[in-house]
Chains A and B, each alone.
Chain A
Amino acid sequence: MEQIIDQYESQKRKLNATMRNRLTAYAFILPNFLGFVAFVLVPVLASFVLCFTEWDTSNPIQFKGLGNFLQLLKDDAFITSFWNTVYYTGAVVPLTMAVSLGLAVMLDKKLKGAKVFRSIFFIPYIASLVAISVVWNMIFSPEAGPVNSFLRSIGLSEPPLWTSSVHWAMPVIIFVGIWRFVGYYMVLYLAGLQGIPRELYEAAEVDGATAWQQFRKITLPMLTPTTFFVVIMLVINSFKVFDQIMVMTQGGPGRATHVLVFYIYYRAFQVFEFGYASAIAFVLFLVVLTITIIQFRMEEKWVKYM
């Protein structure tokens, strides 16, 4: 009998402790949680409902089922912005990766001024994209910008019209995108490089491996985890490109730089079709989700640890 009472008492104590912990924990979490639920969690969940509706926010909401998505398939503007986003991503991801990895490898050597170089390459990432896009626009100005002045001075009489040209607008946007993000990914790669044991290189040197062989056989395989992370981040960020386009080309000329987020923005805040805009946003989400899943699957297969 006494045993049972003891057991009961200890269980009660345990429950009390759990209850107390729970209350304390909730007190800590609550201030953030309330805001998080109201302004992040609920909107995230609502976005999965909104894409099946038609709503201008003032008239009553109407359910459309898959209507928005069927309409998307026939919407030229959507298809163009989708492929433009793919174009941007397809160029930005490999180029940014290559340049940032190259810079990181160079700066990882014991080099005088490595820290100064690191800081300089990082500046574009923190500088306001709006202001710098304005400046890039002037630099690429077809008539008077320094880029075309230079091209004319070396004998190119008809240099590209850059952001006013259907063919060159996107490459300029891509260039600015790479210019901006290289420093960020360089820092990620530098962190990855620091995790590679120096002994590996020393051993390779003893065996007479050249610098290129060391890069191919040690650096690259050892960096695979970093590279996977970099690719995910780059693809996701590229699919979200907006600021430089809004400032530099406003999606033009024609639809040459229409991208997904630009089209979401346009449909929601210019035309007030929130349901339809949500459907476009949902496509963006699906792309991001698919890429993340693929990357994680591949990571299990490919990532080479020692």
Chain B
Amino acid sequence: MKKSEVLRSLKINFANKALLYIILLTGVYIVLFPFAWMLSGSIKANADVFEYPIRWIPKAILWRNYIEIWTSIKFGLFYFNTIKITVVIVILQLTTSSLAAYAFARIKFPERNKLFIAYIGTIAVPYQVYMLPQFIIIKKLGLYDTHTGYILLQAFTAFGVFLMRQFYMSIPEELSESARIDGLNEFGIYRRIILPLSKPALASLGIFTTVMIWNDFLGPLIYFTSEKNKTIQLGITLFMNSYGTDFALIMAAAVCSMLPILIVFFSAQKFFIEGIATTGLKG
């Protein structure tokens, strides 16, 4: 290749790269705009929230907004409720679905396929379809407007069993065989061999569930009517309805409602993104 040709291809390459970055950065701007605007608005005086051109760093920083939201509404209670519900559901979900998935993946028994199809079949049915009979069951059980009712609904999903089963299937059978020869029973194999190997899958399921429950809106909207039971997502809408024009406060509340989930995501994004990439495609 002549020197001028090399130079030209380098130039094209550079122009391509630059264009790529411009497009990507535009994307980043659109994606992050509401978050940045929310953060900046949350420490502004209410009158300055809509200032244009946008002043990203406010003249006077009002941390006070963050204190005010905890005192003007039962934000702390909503926070506590959400954490409690999320933790209990994640624990139930991880223990029961990893146990069930073990049987579906590693034990041969006659009704295995039939039972598993019952699980899989429900994955295709949208939640919005069976939420009505679910509501009636919970109401008849006297669990309407209780955390227990909501927890029971969310803890036993087909998705959890399916995800764990897919993972267990990928663990070589020889591992179980040699453990059986060493005299371990099925529970021992599950506890000592399979479970330690499935930390990544458990982490993925745990994070998925956490994000889903923390952000759930429709479920709490249906089930929690009394204020003492409400979760953070309902808290935000409650806040909006009672402080509709206190935009800075609403923004501070919005930031607080998202912060824990963003921290969870950034500290464990590997499990999350890889979980989607693998199970998503197999789903």
What is A's interface to B at a CB cutoff of 8 Å? 18, 21-22, 24-26, 28-29, 31-36, 38-44, 46-47, 50, 57, 103, 106-107, 109, 111, 117-124, 126-132, 134-136, 138-139, 141, 144-146, 149-150, 153, 179, 183-184, 187-188, 190-192, 226, 229, 233, 236, 239-240, 242-243, 246-247, 260-261, 264-265, 268-269, 274, 277-278, 281-282, 284-285, 288-289, 292
24 contacts between A and B (CB under 8 A): A24-B103, A24-B109, A26-B103, A28-B190, A31-B95, A35-B96, A35-B155, A39-B156, A40-B134, A43-B134, A44-B121, A111-B20, A126-B215, A126-B262, A128-B233, A135-B254, A150-B52, A183-B31, A239-B126, A243-B217, A282-B129, A285-B129, A288-B124, A292-B124
In the complex, what's the smallest C-beta–C-beta distance from B177 to chain A, in angstroms? 15
Cross-chain contact of B158 among A36, A190, A264, A292 (Cβ < 8 A): A36
Residues from chain B with a CB closer than 8 A to the CB of A141 are 50
Q: Which residues of B sit under 8 angstroms from A28, Cβ to Cβ?
A: 99-100, 102-103, 107, 186-187, 190
Question: Looking at chain B's contact residues, is the secondary structure mostly helix, strand, loop, or mixed?
Answer: helix
B271 at interface by CB-CB < 8 Å: no
What is the interface of chain B, defined by CB distance below 8 A to chain A?
17, 20, 23-24, 27-28, 30-35, 37-38, 41, 49-50, 52-54, 92, 95-97, 99-100, 102-104, 107-112, 115, 118-119, 121-122, 124-137, 139, 152-153, 155-158, 160-161, 185-187, 190, 211, 214-215, 217-218, 221-222, 232-233, 236-237, 240, 247, 250-251, 253-255, 257-258, 261-262, 265-266, 269, 272-273, 276-278, 280-281, 283
| A144 touches which of B50, B135, B278, B280 (Cβ 8 Å) | B50
Cross-chain contact B115 with A29 (CB below 8 angstroms) = yes
Contact between B129 and A47, CB atoms less than 8 A apart:
yes
Q: Are B104 and A29 in contact, CB atoms less than 8 angstroms apart?
A: yes
Chain A residues with CB under 8 Å of B99's CB are: 28-29, 31-32
A40-B156, A243-B218 known; A139 vs B137 contact (CB < 8 Å): no
Q: Is the CB of B139 within 8 A of A130?
A: no
A127-B112 in contact (CB<8A):
no
Report the bound CA distance from A137 to B54 in whole Å.
17
Q: Which of the residues B31, B52, B125 comes within 8 Å of A153, measured between beta carbons?
A: B52
